[in-house]
Amino acid sequence: MENYRYLSRTPLVLSLSSLFAPSSAPPPAARPPTPPSYPPPVSAGGPRPILRTSPSNSSAFVCIPQRGVEARGSDSPHLGATAATARPPAPPAAALVARPRRMLGRFPIVLRLPRGILRGSSCRRGLSAMAGGDEEGPLGDFFEYMERLRNYERSGVPRGAGTDSDDGFDLGRMRRLLRRLGDPHAHFPAVHIAGTKGKGSTAAFLSNIMREQGYNVGCYSSPHLLTIRERISVGNDGGPVPVRLLSDLFDQAKEAIDESIESENGALTHFEVFTALSFLLFSRENVDIAIVEAGLGGARDATNVIQSTELAASVITTVGSEHLAALGGSLQSIAIAKSGIIKQGRPVVIGGPFSADIEQIIRDRAFLTQSPVISACDPGIKSITKCVDWDNGKPYQCCDISIKISNDMPLSIELCDVNLQLLGDHQRQNAVTASCTALCLRNLGWDISEASIQAGLEETQLAGRSQILTQEEALVLGLDGASTVLIDGAHTEASAKTLSNMIESIRPEGPLALVVGMANDKAHFAFAEQLLAGSRPDVVLLTEASIAGGASRAMPALLLKEIWMAAARDLGINCVDIGTISGAEAQERIANLAASSSSFAGKPMVMIGCQDDTTPFSCNLIRAASQLILESRGSDDPSPGLVCVTGSLHLVASVLQHLERH
């Protein structure tokens, strides 16, 4: 779930006939047989690579798999891969030259309701496409169909399901589904990104870099915040796939999906079907490149059907302890699972930092597959945040990035005064990882300028990640501007630490309130310790929210409060336990507490459990938290407060949904 520069641009409207009919455009002109600097491997039975110029430089060649190979998809009774379909000729080079870098001061980044709330994980322009009218009508049948499929995001992933073992997901059924659809994943080059944290941000950075260069980019990511359409973006717009386009695509693919579900005895999952639809759309839209984010692990993830002949590069951002049971129970088993996306002879970019044993596991896999390794933590890479400043009510960090690597694949770039709208050292590291990947693609023959890299980095935003709400959005929540609202989907120990550091970098002198809700399978105690020790909040409201549309995975507020109280005691923090109150009476009770704030004056922290009786999460708690910290600070303290909503992307999505409705 789920960035970006907003320009006035007429949306591209595609009809059903133009979407699925073979192109009538003449085939592109023959290219000189000059190979790129790092040729891809060619399997005995796979498609032969062809050379194609990038759209903005007719003298630069890109080595990609040939599209429309007759051996692929010809057996599909429904959606053959249009073997004879030729790609339309590239637009004139003058029309696709890299756009000049735009400084942050010129960004129209103050969002306007109702459409501006929704900023998907791969969207940067055309935010109106996210609102897109009522989805229920055109996509009603699609939503109903998908609801009937097994959804592990809602129910939780089985133990060992992400490991390359007998307990792992069956990639065979994904391949059989794609075969019925014409093997669409064989018709475009892809960058495959896995990682415990950072893969969504890295995918967004890289997608924007490629769009800046003028490429037709497909991006697939998960989870989403407000609409499942956020998971797929295609083209220069970068916004969620349009309602009508997804509806038409589903109508065309439904018969093949039905047959596959029947043949697999109903075993196909929600994620597998939607991943297949994304690949089908990328093929139909003739994307120049797809940026594909793995869902869980890597080796047995549904996205890991991309073969070496179609893979431009793999990226592994980080390895952490999330989804331990599903990925084998240890950091080492998680590293093995994620390194499963490395393919024969294809370069792999590793983000990090990693411990020595984890990095060695990844490098051992790369050695076996003869894959060049590019490390974003190479000694030749230097990056620094020079300052954190504000522009139009939004913070940004000004960074310098220097990359000089001369190992498996030489890379070099100097970027000065990069104004990242994604905050924190971890986002700067993600920007470095994306830059290394872009330079890796450039070494393979893709035309990518330094200006496009810098502009793509600067213009990336992600909803629900270090997002400061605008004054207009705060007014919708009932705040009068006395408190700043930060929403961030952090839900692991590592992400809590980075959030704590970010809060310290932007926090005003005034008080801090945390509003926290989490899934029941997270490391709650470690998460609490990081935020309590680092940010030292004045008020903590523990609540609950639906996870992936259901309550089965929500952590009860009462239990969550007990864990946070224990963490506070371990840290030696003196706090007042107000107890647990229901969502219906929370506003009134907290207002009374605020009015009698002298009862806990001098205490460093107030902790309250809010058992939420409503679905989704009640945004009244944000107003209540703001009221508590402002009333308790004293009339002689004019400093504004900060309210941070965190613990789950699903909780953050509830806030965005409230803003969108109002």
Is it true that 16-116+137-458 and 467-661 share their CATH fold? no
Q: Number of C-alpha atoms within 13 angstroms, CB side, residue 436?
A: 37
Taking the mean position of all CA atoms in its chain, how far away is CA 548? 16
State which H helix or E strand residue 605 sits in.
Answer: strand 605-611
pLDDT attached to residue 613: 56
Where along the chain do its domains lie? 16-116+137-458, 467-661
pLDDT attached to residue 130: 37
Q: How far apart are the first and last CA of the chain?
A: 21
pLDDT attached to residue 610: 84
Tokens standing for 615?
């679905």
Positions in the chain short of pLDDT 50: 1-133, 615
pLDDT attached to residue 597: 55
State the CATH architecture for 467-661: Alpha-Beta Complex (3.90)
pLDDT attached to residue 116: 31
pLDDT attached to residue 66: 37
Cis bond before residue 616 (omega within 30° of 0): yes
pLDDT attached to residue 631: 74
pLDDT attached to residue 319: 95
pLDDT attached to residue 60: 36
pLDDT attached to residue 429: 97
Mean pLDDT score of the chain, rounded to an integer? 79
pLDDT attached to residue 620: 80
Assess contact for 287 and 279: CB atoms under 8 A: no
pLDDT tens digits for 356-381? 999 999 999 999 999 999 999 999 99
Asked whether the CA dihedral 537, 120, 243, 127 is positive or negative, the reply is: positive
pLDDT attached to residue 541: 92
Spatial neighbors of 428 by CB under 8 A, at least 6 apart, are 383, 385, 397, 399, 401, 420
Q: For residue 7, which amino acid is it?
A: L
- Fold of the domain spanning 16-116+137-458: UDP-N-acetylmuramoyl-L-alanine:D-glutamate ligase (3.40.1190)
Q: pTM of the full predicted structure?
A: 0.77
